[in-house]
Structure 1
């Protein structure tokens, strides 16, 4: 294990400025704003802000104010931001981001928990400052390394929380390490019941599962899963293209119209992490490898607190009960979409602290 600090070379900042200056915006396609992707006018404003008003060095200093570690776990060097200072006797929580976000998108949640619980925010393998996995990217493979990471950091018992790709990791961690995982908080509750042999779904449950996979929103996943290297070649060479690809998903998947609920500098910081680490291509590995490598995770028998975010507002409690056998709380959020901890960090923090108080 070693301490880690972010230090982007001046030459990399100069190169980014040059590329942003040379941005060519597309002509808008006829249609309602955001229905054809990110509106070029919105992208132009974001590029201008990134070029002229985004202070990477200030953000770099802020990030380096947190404790960061590089930990070798089962052949993979994992980057983790660690916020210590929790109250004595309290359980820590490991928090896992998804795609297209990064460890920086979980900082608002960490700040709400600061002084109460220790918080560990690993970067997924192949994302940001973590190495790629030496094996196919699956939820179980990452979960095994997260358990090793928590042991290396001195945490034999802990809570888990994850979103998107990180939700699958969190589910596998809770399902396969019940002796260490004291409880799970899930705002991206598992869909695994649909794939588990012998499980009968109700009409309500089947209707919900159909509703969360509209064809118009699945193109990105098909491209990332089938032609990841071609897409990566385009995005890794163009900061404006990378910004467009990520910002469009943040806008469409968050709760609100466009980017109104997301702080612009937070968005740019997230994109900048992808840019400076050249990790957008390796971030596609869950889409290209995960589904083909393993089936559904086992039943989750540790205590669970379920938060239903607004993009899955119709998720039936009965569906959760087919996966989580010990549900201690089930709540439908009034605000907060796919990026739940980014959009509604106070509600996620409250759920984590409530479950921790119950199971500690």
Structure 2
């Protein structure tokens, strides 16, 4: 039941080891002219790795993260790390922000600055990610995580709260609403056409909402085909052999960087901050959580625990929207729905002010 204050304090020996490993990276060759078609280009990753080793300032990033109040607690036998940033307004609504993959609580560091006047923000690290490690037993997928989040909010003394997330965080947020609907005032999620199409390739029934004969549905069908043909390799590996890829992710910082930056480059539409990305990757590296984060995807792929349906009000922010997203998601009547022309999978980093405005609008309506 205890909640303990937490401060990030990476030993200097670990920082020096990272720099040394980056300098000793054994680089592969590449197919001439391949570009991004076969993965992250060699020169792109070499340049980013050089910047990480010589120009990126982990200590400055660590200090910025430590400006947020952080804590750990044990729930269901698992250490859970979380930010708890209280608003100056006593009547502010508590709001749980849940990140996805490949990300961390640091994805929300800029967004929180736009929210803290209106919300008491709670931003946990998913089990197996960042400082919510080590994972002591199997079974940590979205349903179990949602029950942990409901217990966390109970321990913090919050009787009414909202939930928000994208990617895995969207699933966890929906599951929290199903589990703790008595206390959740609303669930808000973010998505984009690529995420919606990718999700439709493995969630039963979603793809059936598209009509191959309808030209308006062709973009989503093309995205689904491209994901199955070229984009789903990372997911197939982590859903089936997470331990095997874990040896690379835990031993090579360049490998961990390449594994994550590929998704940021593929899934973003607007520019993101390079240092913020490297802070996320550094958290994976310093906590050794690359393999346990991969195992989270394995656990979900082998779980039937997706949470229960909920009557809690729902809100969606769709970034880079087209008509196929609403058709694929088929939101119930009365769902709060906002579309933006630009943005991608990480709007908390790509468009934090826009997302903050959406969150304020939605929760003002439902709270």
Q: TM-score, normalised by structure 2?
A: 0.89
- Determine the C-alpha separation between the residues in 2 that align with 1:313 and 1:76: 40
**SS in structure 2 at match of 1:348:** helix
Q: Which residue of 2 aligns with 1:94?
A: 96
- Determine the C-alpha separation between the residues in 2 that align with 1:38 and 1:319: 30
- Determine the C-alpha separation between the residues in 2 that align with 1:63 and 1:74: 26
Change over 3 Å in CA distance of 1:18–1:133 after alignment to 2: same
Q: Which residue of 1 aligns with 2:300?
A: 290
- Determine the C-alpha separation between the residues in 1 that align with 2:78 and 2:357: 32
Verify: 1:348 aligned to 2:355, yes or no: yes
Q: Which residue of 1 aligns with 2:71?
A: 69
Cα displacement (A) at 1:229 = 1.0
- Determine the C-alpha separation between the residues in 2 that align with 1:140 and 1:98: 14
Q: Which residue of 1 aligns with 2:152?
A: 149
* Residue 339 of structure 2, aligned match among 324, 332, 336: 332
Q: Which residue of 1 aligns with 2:5?
A: 3
- CA deviations over 1:109-137 (Å, ceiling 9, x no partner): 11110222111110000000003263412
- Determine the C-alpha separation between the residues in 2 that align with 1:202 and 1:235: 37
- CA deviations over 1:122-171 (Å, ceiling 9, x no partner): 00000000032634122111000001111112212111111111111111
Contact 1:195 1:296 in 2 (8 A): no
Q: Which residue of 1 aligns with 2:190?
A: 187
Q: How many residues are paired up?
A: 352
Q: Which residue of 1 aligns with 2:108?
A: 106
- CA deviations over 1:328-358 (Å, ceiling 9, x no partner): x212212210112121111211111112211
Verify: 1:276 aligned to 2:276, yes or no: no
- Determine the C-alpha separation between the residues in 2 that align with 1:181 and 1:96: 14
- Determine the C-alpha separation between the residues in 2 that align with 1:170 and 1:237: 32
Contact 2:65 2:109 in 1 (8 A): no
* Residue 243 of structure 1, aligned match among 257, 268, 271: 257
Q: Which residue of 2 aligns with 1:134?
A: 137
**SS in structure 1 at match of 2:237:** helix
Change over 3 Å in CA distance of 1:162–1:11 after alignment to 2: same
**SS in structure 2 at match of 1:183:** strand
Contact 1:143 1:170 in 2 (8 A): yes
Q: CA RMSD in A?
A: 2.5
Contact 1:300 1:325 in 2 (8 A): no
Contact 1:254 1:339 in 2 (8 A): yes
- Determine the C-alpha separation between the residues in 2 that align with 1:133 and 1:357: 39
- Determine the C-alpha separation between the residues in 1 that align with 2:222 and 2:179: 28
Change over 3 Å in CA distance of 1:295–1:31 after alignment to 2: farther
| Structure 1 gap segments, 5+ residues each | none
Change over 3 Å in CA distance of 1:76–1:167 after alignment to 2: same
Change over 3 Å in CA distance of 1:194–1:244 after alignment to 2: closer
- CA deviations over 1:192-229 (Å, ceiling 9, x no partner): 896379x9745379864773444211000001111111
Contact 1:91 1:157 in 2 (8 A): yes
Cα displacement (A) at 1:313 = 3.4
Contact 1:97 1:166 in 2 (8 A): yes
Q: Which residue of 2 aligns with 1:313?
A: 322
Change over 3 Å in CA distance of 1:209–1:185 after alignment to 2: farther
| Structure 2 gap segments, 5+ residues each | none
- Which deviates the most, 129-138 or 225-234? 129-138
Change over 3 Å in CA distance of 1:210–1:86 after alignment to 2: farther
- Determine the C-alpha separation between the residues in 1 that align with 2:37 and 2:121: 38
